Structure 1
Amino acid sequence: MAGRRAGVADLCGSRLLSRDAPATDGLKAALAAEALRLGFDCLGVTAPVVNAERAAAFERFIAAGQHGDMDWLAREPSRRTDPRTLWAEVRSVIMLGVNYGPDEDPRAILSNRSRAAISVYARGDDYHDVIKKNLKTLARWLVAQAGCDVKVFVDTAAVMEKPLAESAGLGWQGKHTNLVSSGFGSWLFLGAIYTTLDWPADAPERDHCGSCRACLDSCPTAAFPAPYQLDARRCVSYLTIENKGPIPREFRKAIGNRIYGCDDCLAACPWNKFAQEGRDAKLAAREALRAPSLAELAALDDAAFRALFAKSPIKRIGRDRFLRNVLIAIGNSGDAALVPAAERLAADAHPLLRAAAAWALAQLLDEDAFARRAAAALAAETDASVRAEWRTPG
């Protein structure tokens, strides 16, 4: 995906500061230049207030239970809908974006069922670490220049980054609920600097989605009950990352070979034609994670898992949940050569894996072969969830 490289003018825009604040305007231009040097691609400023419509939508999302097991989202929701409850001294929020546009269509791998599809954002180093380091450097620069106080956040605190980024003019929240940028499509990592500087807010970006439904129609599990609404409990990203238990049966076949996250709704966005490949080498995809073999992944023990995913966000879910996902992909592969991999994991110490392996074998073996394998397993299996998988193939 090709596109123009950002410059200071792109970062600053033409609407960021009022003409009657030349000193602030100069400082913001200098901040934008420093941000560009550090690898950021867009910057905007907003007041520490979440748009009332976005705040209400978040509260409805929580009330409907659509956050699933992500209990931290429901904890003290006012901390998310009002940035000042997180830090009372904040006067302005500086929102920054880093482009991580892929160099290929991430959906192409979905047709190669013996290989794994890993979400674009997780193919390189953990963006939290990469961006936060640069964000802290930029914040220290601002403190040195302006003598203000600051706090920095990268998707690790009660900060509603997307509504704030929308208010700061970086883009708009599309129908898939993610931020869409006219310059970078749906491929932006976000970071925030809360500051005591009282800067004029930039003009918010307006919604350019129009009648387009590409993102909604692309979802393999129908996770969008309506435009601009997400039911996380149906989302492949939630199911393969946040969900700690078995993948619900109703979603297993739809997941295909997506073993960590899902890019379908992002990749479907027409605004991606303006995106460019991510510039930061640390955010670039590792070759080993572009299209790894399901057989090789299924063979990972804990030490090998940790070594392969060092500095990767994937490491956080642990080997057992990761291999649960791999087993679902193996079951969907239609590749009989993967039966030995599923057989090995059917004897794993963790019941989560034994259960997923039983389902995978039910998809790959013929009815008689599975019945014989199930009878042998049930003679020794004591875990109720695993026994249920052997008794209910399909």
Structure 2
Amino acid sequence: MLIIMLLLFLLIFISIKISRKIPNYFLFVIILLVFQLGWLTLYRIELYSIGRDVYYSDASAYWNATKSFLLGYDFHSWNMGYVYYSAAIQKFSFFVSVLWNNISNLLLLFLSIVIFSYIMLKEGISSLNIKIFTYSLLLNPLVSYGLYRNLKDSLFLFLTVLSILVVYSFAKNSNKLNKIINIIFIAVLMGLLPLVRPWGFVIPPLLFLITLIYTKKISAKKILNISLVLLIAIFSIVVSGYREILMTWIPYVLNSADALNPLRLILSPLNLVIGPGPIRPLFPDDYFEYYTIVGNISTSLGALMWWLILPFFIVKIRKIKLSLLHRQFGIVLFLFIIIYSLAYGGSVEIRFRSVLYILITAQAVVMFNMNLIKKDIIKYIFVLSVIVSGGLYFGI
């Protein structure tokens, strides 16, 4: 319970800070947390009714790895970083149960959204945009279900958000000591992220380089020198600990991309962004090998909510506000879309779409003014009809 209580404390603390600028923000976050805990409770009841502790897929593999680690078995698993984190949750809880992992994942999701909102507030993003970002995502049952169901993706999202926060603080803080501390945190995160996802180590240095280029406070020579240092650090990480993983993972991604026909490869980002759609979960036996009723309802409702809000973002593409935050969010979103379009042709599990919905929404509210005007309504209806008809026709 110690780790869960710490996450809850951080969530409450940051939400209250935001509430000083956005009234009732903390109240709505807590209400939405209770709402999602209700969905989680129904999910746990359904799993117990079918005799399972965790969902199928890799969630089962990571939970088994956690139990083996707790029993002291000598073994190796992919993404051991999450296994260590999962074991720590169990060590500091009253009894061993995957329920603590589910609750932890939900809190990591909420904390990630709230930290995103805090950064946006610091950047001067309007309270309306921040509300749309927070409430639309935390209310969406697909986003929460996809991340508390599987075990490691919430942790990866949280570490990614921390990377953005640290690099953003580095850019905005003029104190040399604080900058040094931020650089140390960047190095630590560069080591932690690949323990959860193999390609994670590229996120902090890319954010760092984009920040240096955007701020224009140093010469090209200094950028080159710092880039060289970062490249050496990355090379050291690959050689010392992650080379084996990367040498397995990179060929897998490239081979998967090579197996796709050109049209599928071109359309994969679109499939990634618009899918999975609200229809497939209504006919689970036709599409899924494993499923839960709570999951099908969550996915269908959440996908419908996404189809309703995505056209709103597209309609707002008029005057784009370019900022440091937009570039930081953008590079993470770009990496995510490219990697999973190549690896899976855009047909990914719900957990990937949960993260993608968060990244796209973050990018939209940072770049666009979300005030609704009358002439937006006709455009919204048109874009919505295109998304719905295209999604239904292609079976997304």
Give the TM bin, normalised by the shorter chain: under 0.3
TM-score in terms of structure 2 length: 0.23
Larger radius of gyration: 1
More helix by share: 2
TM-score in terms of structure 1 length: 0.23
